[in-house]
Structure 1
Amino acid sequence: MHIRTLLFTLLLPFCLPFCLPTAALAAQGHPTLPGAGLDALWVIPFVCMLLSIAVMPLAAPHFWERHFGKISVFWGLAFLLPCAFAFGPSVALYELLHIIILDYIPFIILLFSLFTVAGGVRLTGSLTGTPLVNAGILAVGTVLASWMGTTGAAMLLIRPLLRANAHRRYKVHSVVFFIFLVANIGGSLTPLGDPPLFLGFLKGVSFFWTTTNLFLKTLLLSVVLLLIYLALDALLFAREGRPLPACSRAGATEKLGLEGKVNLLLLAGIVLAVLLSGLFRLGTAIEVYGVPLEGQNMARDLALLALAWLSLRLTSPASRDANGFSWAPIEEVAKLFLGIFVSMIPAIAILKAGTDGALAGLIQLVSSNGQPDNAMYFWLTGVLSSFLDNAPTYVVFFNTAGGDAQTLMRDAPATLAAISAGAVFMGANTYIGNAPNFMVRAIAENQGVRMPGFFGYMLWSGCVLLPLFLLLTWLFF
């Protein structure tokens, strides 16, 4: 996919209203997918999409590299075509436009802008990937994640981490722990950190509520993970013979500093644009086949694209080249997540149906004798967030717990904390659990790091994270 093609895709929602017939723009109700009437068979394309990501890079790597975009589209169509046959073309078209316009396009625009802007920041100097330096990068990223978002912090710091460890033999563990901490757990303290918490903020949860109610949980998890990482990296560093970069061995030194500092201002602009889009409602600007495009969201997406354009104009191409910047990671994410988002439609519909849907048995597990079971809220929200979009998963369980932010904060803070922690923390369980996970993996592989496959990564998260989540359950839930 050429960058111009990617930019055209990002601008599609702004062009679409002028391309469809006027009748299609009428603000009329459209039949939607009946989540309560769907059985588990409708989730097969989504499961196959995940299995393709997990198995094919290992079983048929060359075929996957050449055709993963086509495979992604195939599994999307594997849902859409049966949907059109069973429920009618209008339902299939509405669900497709709904997921593309309201979820996929904003998702890719945000990732594209953060990827472009953060890719223009280059840390200069002879930063060497020793255990202490690496742990320091992870710690800084964990702190930044709650204030500039997990995606922003991950895009800003993954390249410095990779450059610092370019001379190291063992690098995979550093990227894996980076995903754990910077791309997920660090984003738990403010609504800016992760989309589920931002939705909670829009529903009335106080801005600093998660800061106070998740602080000890986040601190414990982060400190333990950093200590585990430090011990593991120290062991591997010693096994490598405590290597130094070639420039250090030759006595070459470069002063530590930053190139492309203007991109830090642009990053702040991205965070501000996202925050303002949630605070100020401009109403529906236009409807496309019954799908509303709200003014504040269109303004936000245009602002994000403008900030990405400014970054490209104001940053030296030579600096980006020295930073190892290429468009391949964002292109891979755009193609794969198209299939993920489309094939995920029935799974989200079933989940939203709550006790009326095929997952009714799971939803009913979150209460016992009329009282909320906080441990089950934590684990069910977390496990489903590991494979589905964690934002709608958060909303489902938020509503299951009562749906009133003031009541939850006052009378059931542990329940709200369990839902919030599950949605954010357990996004680290899989590559698709949170937006930046797959992006970090793609950037690392683009720079020569052989990352584990889908199941290989889950082996890491199962061995490292699940025991810590059990500890959190015992201590807090």
Structure 2
Amino acid sequence: MQTFPTRTRHLLVIALVLALLPLASHATDFDGRALTPVWGVPFAGLLLSIALCPLLVARFWHHHFGKVSAAWSLAFFVPFAVVFGPSVAASGFVHALVGEYIPFIVLLTTLFVVAGGIYIRGNLHGSPRMNVGLLAIGALLASFMGTTGASMLLIRPLIRANDNRRHVAHVVVFFIFIVSNAGGSLTPLGDPPLFLGFLKGVEFFWTVRQILPETLFLIAALLAIFYAIDSHYYHKEGVVRPDPTPDTPSFGFEGRVNFLLLGCVIGLVLLSGFWKSGVAFSVAGAEVTWAGLVRDIGLIGVTLVSLRLTPESAHAQNQFSWGPMAEVAKLFAGIFLTIIPVIAMLRAGLHGPFGPVVAAVTGPDGQPLPSMYFWASGALSSFLDNAPTYLVFFNTAGGDAKVLMTTLASTLAAVSAGSVFMGANTYIGNAPNLMVKAIAEDRGIRMPSFFGYMAWSAAVLIPLFIVMTFIWFR
């Protein structure tokens, strides 16, 4: 009885997309210069809802966050269709769905399922040294299996290791800082902005050559600060209660087949970057390449294989559930839609509504200012999706990968570092942030509110970013 409404909603969504396709196929791109900042109100409203509703109306939010996301999406989509025409609105909707949201959510779901199928056997005890070690391992893994993959693999054992402690929220906050963001800065596999740069022609190992010192500084500083804070709480708590997780005789893994599947995920992502297949077909102006199609179909296949082959005991011991993934999928659906006019206004450049933002990154001599690119890309990546933000400033700086890797290397390094590092400033700066928060809360950890988390990032991250600006991005 309960499955019928869900299936009905799915059918309605499919019917809506199919109905919009004929309209979208005849649409033309709209010019961001024709917009005003008022069109960003639904996006701002969705962000404020994510920030305030869990504080003010927690029960309502818990049961209806998907409806709130849909309401803000309609608050943008319906007026946009009235003002600019159904065909233009349909084009924007289908382009966001096919060109951005589906590839994004498919990769995220695959990593969530595959990493969630690996159970690390053995009861680690969450001392400050052990926690620092897990965070450091996660930072190393993040650049090779993605911030999402590393986060989903290690957040559960980290929570389990600290389940006999009173103060745990700070452990998860620093996990988001380090594993879900900073650790993914060295290769295109680490974070979506760098992968987009790779698709635009940036060499695979360029980033690690350019911002390795900045990455090592940030991770080392965060680990040192975390160790001091965690040691304070650890010694203050003493032994709080018997460890609820029983000790096991040996360390090991269940669901080991998922390590092989993680390798398949990495291979499919790399294939889509190296395989220059050209445009296979166009859906409402959204270019769908054979490489992208093979990647997404392959990832769906990997997800199904993982669900089929993972032992039930691994999922049970990981307390695997679809709740965190459903929350991210619904909220980011609204974000990807309401962000359409914001990105269009940014792409309009100097002559668009956000012209002052674009002008701020260029000096009087017309040369780009690395420090401003670092902060502008970082500030926007804190609240917008960091992948399109990276593209906006990549194109603002000229958009020629060969020039950006050589003559303007400091500018591209600033854009790369700002987009990846400052995604940690808020829960919505990078998708794994929200997923980690949801998993922690699902395990009973009382996480900081949206603004409470920002207080942590302002106190810990911003001073480090200021130091980095004076050392590397002047």
TM-score after normalising by structure 1? 0.93
For residues 254-309 of structure 1, give each alpha carbon's deviation from its aligned partner in whole angstroms, at most 9, with x where no partner exists.
Answer: 31111111101111111111111121133333333333332221211111111111
For residues 230-265 of structure 1, give each alpha carbon's deviation from its aligned partner in whole angstroms, at most 9, with x where no partner exists.
Answer: 1111110111104575368x8x54311111111011
Tell me the equivalent position of 1:193.
190
> In structure 2, what is the Cα distance between the partners aligned to 1:390 and 1:464?
20
> In structure 2, what is the Cα distance between the partners aligned to 1:203 and 1:101?
19
Give the unaligned 5+ runs of structure 1: none
> In structure 2, what is the Cα distance between the partners aligned to 1:456 and 1:274?
35
Tell me the equivalent position of 1:299.
294
For residues 5-32 of structure 1, give each alpha carbon's deviation from its aligned partner in whole angstroms, at most 9, with x where no partner exists.
Answer: 69x969x88x999x56995686x5x222
Count residues in correspondence. 469
Tell me the equivalent position of 2:444.
448
SS, match of residue 225 in structure 2:
helix
* Structure 1 residue 455 displacement after superposition: 1.0
* Structure 1 residue 122 displacement after superposition: 0.5
For residues 408-465 of structure 1, give each alpha carbon's deviation from its aligned partner in whole angstroms, at most 9, with x where no partner exists.
Answer: 2221221111111001100001111112111111111111111111111111101100
Identity %: 53
- What does 1:360-439 align with in structure 2 at a 5 Å threshold? 360-369=355-364, 370-439=366-435
- What does 1:242-321 align with in structure 2 at a 5 Å threshold? 242-243=239-240, 245-246=242-243, 252-321=247-316
> In structure 1, what is the Cα distance between the partners aligned to 2:315 and 2:87?
45
Letter in 1 for 2:220: V
For residues 143-168 of structure 1, give each alpha carbon's deviation from its aligned partner in whole angstroms, at most 9, with x where no partner exists.
Answer: 11111111111111111111111111
Q: 1:307 to 1:197 in 2, by over 3 A?
A: same
Match of 1:134 among 131, 134, 141: 131
Does residue 111 (structure 1) correspond to residue 135 (structure 2)? The answer is no
CA contact (8 A) 1:119 1:156 kept: yes
* Structure 1 residue 381 displacement after superposition: 0.6
> In structure 2, what is the Cα distance between the partners aligned to 1:399 and 1:86?
28
The two structures, once aligned, show a CA RMSD in angstroms of 2.3
CA contact (8 A) 1:445 1:451 kept: yes
> In structure 1, what is the Cα distance between the partners aligned to 2:123 and 2:22?
61
Q: 1:22 to 1:204 in 2, by over 3 A?
A: closer
Match of 2:338 among 334, 339, 343: 343
Tell me the equivalent position of 1:359.
354
> In structure 2, what is the Cα distance between the partners aligned to 1:152 and 1:212?
23
Tell me the equivalent position of 2:467.
471
Letter in 2 for 1:146: S
CA contact (8 A) 2:404 2:411 kept: yes
CA contact (8 A) 2:142 2:180 kept: yes
Tell me the equivalent position of 1:203.
200
Q: 1:37 to 1:284 in 2, by over 3 A?
A: same
Give the unaligned 5+ runs of structure 2: none
Letter in 2 for 1:266: L
SS, match of residue 368 in structure 1:
coil
CA contact (8 A) 1:25 1:287 kept: no
TM-score after normalising by structure 2? 0.94
Q: 1:297 to 1:9 in 2, by over 3 A?
A: farther
> In structure 2, what is the Cα distance between the partners aligned to 1:72 and 1:259?
37
Letter in 1 for 2:145: M
* Structure 1 residue 192 displacement after superposition: 1.0
Q: 1:349 to 1:3 in 2, by over 3 A?
A: farther
SS, match of residue 170 in structure 2:
helix
* Structure 1 residue 199 displacement after superposition: 1.5
Tell me the equivalent position of 2:232.
235
Letter in 2 for 1:432: I
Q: 1:247 to 1:349 in 2, by over 3 A?
A: closer
Does residue 226 (structure 1) correspond to residue 223 (structure 2)? The answer is yes
Letter in 2 for 1:466: I
